[in-house]
Chains A and B, each alone.
Chain A
Amino acid sequence: MSALTALQQLIGQVRGSRVVLISTGILLAIAVVALLGPLFSSHSYLATDLDRRLLAPTLQNGQLFGTDDLGRDLFVRTMMGAQVTLLVAVIASIVSLVIGVLYGATAGFIGGKLDALMMRAVDALYALPFIFLVILLMVVFERSFFLIFVAIGAINWLEMARIVRGQTLSLKEREFVDAARLIGVSSFGIIFRHITPNLLGMVVVYMTLTIPQAILVESFLSFLGLGIQEPQTSLGALVNGGVSQMEQAPWVLLIPAGLLAIVLLCFNFLGDGLRDLTDPRGEMQ
């Protein structure tokens, strides 16, 4: 149950950092509102109403954020956008996490030639201009929802693999692993009971940094028109839409843009704060 104690330790440490607590709080609040908010509104994110286009934010009719150029309620659209953005980011990050950790831990633990080979592959992939290949991918395969996860996951796992491998290598050389071998703990046992719990803290911290990266990639794609397609929407797509309405109805741009910025800011503060707690001397980098 070492993984559990490691997690307990982390949570205990977290309580000490205001930055971490506030950022987490804001993010949770946003998530809750994004999930529950649309349920309280009478409008749907699909319904267009050309009589009520580009209305400024008003309490009237419950249209807190106003409407967009097709008369759709912006509050509900923004909340849907937030849901999609967060969903894509979390799932894509989990995908890259799983791949990255498995790959990196295997390379680090087995070491030797296999490790050299695996890391050579990572180095080669690292140099690829991923964003552009992803764009190519999205263009070629007609922008499917599923593909977005794959694309984002494909970009992020490299970094995670590198870091996990580095940590695993250094952990492997530590004396407590030798002691475990001398006791007679099996390789399996060493990986599960000794190495994994010590990786956990770092993985959690790193996740808080990959999530905003994933959000950025998805938003970037959506901004270019290659990501989430109508009538679904994400914060990036909303910003794209807002740009064209920038002069007449700035709120159509400012509201989703502001929300996106806040979400990213919180994740970055969260990640920085966690990193300060668990790795103050920058050993991870």
Chain B
Amino acid sequence: MTLLRVSGLSISYPGASRPAVSELSFTVNDGESVGIVGESGSGKTQTALAVMGLLPANASVNGSIRLQGEEILGAPAARLNQLRPQKIAIVFQDPKAALNPYLSVGKQLKRIMIAHGIASGRDAVQRSLEMLQRVGLPDPERQYRAYPHQLSGGMRQRALIASALIAEPDLLIADEPTTALDVTIQAQILNLLQELRHASNTALLLITHDLGVIAGNSERTLVLDKGCLLEEGTTRQIFAAPGQERSQALIAAAPRLDAAAQAAPVTVGAMPLLEVDDISVSFRERRGRGRNDLHAVLPLSFNVLPGETVAIVGESGSGKTSLVRAVLGLLAKKTGTVGFLGMALPDIVRKRSNETRRRLQMVFQDPVASLDPAMRVGSIIAEPISVHEPGSKAAQREQRVDEMLGRVGLEHELKARFPHELSGGQAQRVAIARALVMQPKILICDEAVAALDGTVRSDILQLLLDEQTRSSLSLIIITHDLTVVRQMSHRVLVMYLGRICELTTNDRLFRQPRHPYTRALLDAMPLPDPTAARQPPPVSGEAASILRPPSGCVFHPRCLHANDACSKDTPLLEETQDGKVACHRAAELDLS
């Protein structure tokens, strides 16, 4: 039975250069799972809002949206409020903003039921508690009384899902429901969505830019590009043989774990470029009573060889950013030394020499925020030249700027633009140009492509690889995305709660990881391959707080292979064939 039929949907806004959505038509059947995939700006969210009747007042909409035969586009608010959320419901991307910070979670659930006459008083409370339980929140009573800011990201998203499903809708729309979450939590939430919808035969319209998520969670897929429907079909069809050139490009650009590693081989036995020895980072927290020491990074060591790419992998709270900031001197470390070319570096970047500073550079996660909004692109790239070569003439600098722009693939005309006038990809190239103009030996990329879309992302990664080949540049890549690790790295450092779980080579990590957490990360990554077998989420629960780490091995509460010893003793980092691992059971487990 056709549940939702969208015909010729067009949405446009005054002053925009093209319509947000153009003549879009598709259907969703009862109990079916449909995915909408596309890059940002392709109109996916607009479509979702249109179906829900939540478009802003200045949108002009044409076409037809029929829910179980009834036309709901342009329907009066009273009718829409009967349909929402009893027939259609939506889960938004950012649960922090989507939940009312001034109301407890329970109150928000209760209000829905009272407003729709589903239940009231005691009964409403009871149902809310049941729903909170169903979405997997431990201790529902506590969460009922809790306020959104007291919950973690994953828990908030579960609460949001609870509010969407409490009226038992026929169709659930999920707009990038897991983009803001860690990859292990993402796996849990996606699994939850599938379970819930199977239990009540709810149709699911899943919207995302992540092809891996689509592959594993939807039966049919729509590919959107610039507001138009590019392709439609069963998910297997689309992935196996995409018809349109553009969708071919999208799918080809989709990062894959089983892709070939592209990093050029490194000379073995060379002297390390960077030696990090026994570094730890702590913060003083003054929350609550007295002072707590937040141990962001516990003493650890690693090194980087010339021309090598070391990937540091971890989820939020792993300490990877603090570690790198300490190495760069942006953060004071507590213990340990950082050695560059054999010389120990001063703690703070201010105290380092210009000569040292230019050799260690960084590219940040948010490309536009890393550029001074009051400076033009040309000045941004020229600034390092002025600092390191104060005698240079303006003409010389200009020439170098042009050269750098060309090298990162940007036109010279962009020199006069301001950062807010650039796209994400362009801004990141400018940031890379700014870093490269100083001829660094080590470039640290902190989630440098996390904010970028498919094709743009692979371009940027390719740019970095090219630079590496060209000038033997070493890269330290911080990421939570294992596909980036696969493509770019030689060696990998896996971190959890400030500690090293495993240090290993690229090949080995994917073929035979030694630490259960690494295995969990691998399993949690959604593969852009519809034919792969579905697995249950590899890890349960939330990451522990850094303020109160679990005893013994910090991963043990969530580990599938934990035994008694794991909760008592902290495992030491031990040498293995290709690296190191910190796990009591490393020797006996086979995690390939």
- Using a CB–CB cutoff of 8 Å, the interface residues on chain A facing chain B are 2, 5-6, 9, 174-176, 178-185, 187, 189, 193-194, 197-198, 200
Of the candidates A178, A181, A184, the one whose C-beta lies within 8 Å of that of B354 is A184
Q: How far is the CB of B419 from chain A (nearest CB, A)?
A: 8
List 27 interface pairs A-B (beta carbons < 8 Å), by A numbering.
A2-B374, A2-B379, A9-B374, A175-B364, A175-B370, A176-B370, A178-B330, A178-B370, A179-B370, A179-B371, A179-B431, A180-B372, A181-B350, A182-B328, A182-B330, A182-B349, A182-B357, A182-B361, A183-B357, A183-B384, A183-B434, A184-B354, A185-B383, A194-B374, A197-B372, A198-B372, A198-B374
**Any A CB within 8 A of the CB of B418:** yes
Beyond the given A2-B375, A184-B388, please list 19 additional residue pairs across the A-B interface where CB-CB is below 8 A.
A2-B374, A2-B379, A175-B364, A176-B371, A178-B364, A179-B370, A179-B431, A180-B372, A181-B349, A182-B362, A183-B387, A183-B434, A184-B354, A184-B358, A184-B387, A189-B387, A197-B372, A198-B373, A200-B374
Chain A contact residues: over half helix, strand or loop, or mixed? helix
Question: With a CB–CB cut-off of 8 A, which chain A residues contact B371?
Answer: 176, 179
Q: Smallest distance from the beta carbon of A284 to chain B beta carbons, Å?
A: 15
Say yes or no: B372 contacts A182, CB within 8 Å. no
Q: Smallest distance from the beta carbon of B387 to chain A beta carbons, Å?
A: 5
Query: How far does the alpha carbon of A6 sit from the alpha carbon of B419 in the complex, in Å?
Result: 12
Residues of chain B with a CB closer than 8 A to A181's CB: 330, 349-350
Report the minimum CB–CB distance from A180 to chain B (whole Å): 8
Number of interface residues, chain B, beta carbon within 8 A? 29
Contact B384 A178 (CB under 8 A): no
A179 to B433, CA, bound (A): 12
Contacts of A180 in B (CB 8 A): 372, 383
Given A178-B330, A178-B362, are A183 and B370 neighbors across the interface (CB < 8 Å)?
no
> In the assembly, what is the distance between CA of A137 and CA of B122, in Å?
63
> Could you tell me the distance between the alpha carbons of A198 and B431 in the complex, rounded to whole angstroms?
19
Cα distance A178–B349 in the bound complex, in angstroms = 10
Who on chain B is nearest to A178 by CB?
A: B330
Give the CA-CA distance A5 to B434 in the complex, in Å.
20
Q: Which residues of B contact A9 (CB under 8 A)?
A: 374, 418
Residues of B within 8 Å of A182, CB to CB, are: 328, 330, 349, 357, 360-362
What's the Cα separation between A185 and B369 when bound, in Å? 18
Would you call B376 an interface residue if the criterion is a C-beta within 8 Å of the partner chain's C-beta atoms?
Answer: yes
| Separation of A194 and B385 alpha carbons in the complex (Å) | 16
Q: How would residues 440 to 465 of chain B score, 1 for a CB under 8 Å from any chain A CB and 0 otherwise?
A: 00000000000000000000000000
Interface presence of B207 (CB below 8 A): no
A178 to B361, CA, bound (A): 11
* Any A CB within 8 A of the CB of B467: no
Partner of B374, one of A5, A175, A178, A184: A5
Residue of B nearest to A181 (CB): B349
A residues near B357, Cβ cutoff 8 Å = 182-184
Are A183 and B383 in contact, with the CB atoms below 8 A? yes
The reply to whether B362 and A6 form a contact with Cβ atoms under 8 Å apart is no
**Are A179 and B362 CB-contacts (below 8 A) given A184-B357, A194-B372, A198-B373?**
yes
Determine whether the beta carbon of A179 is less than 8 Å from that of B364.
yes
Partner of B372, one of A176, A184, A187, A200: A176
| Residue of B357, B362, B374 with highest tally of chain A CB at under 10 A | B374
Interface check B438, CB cutoff 8 A: yes
CA–CA, A81 and B503, complex, Å: 78
Contacts of A189 in B (CB 8 A): 387
Q: Cβ of B360: which chain A residues have Cβ within 8 Å of it?
A: 182
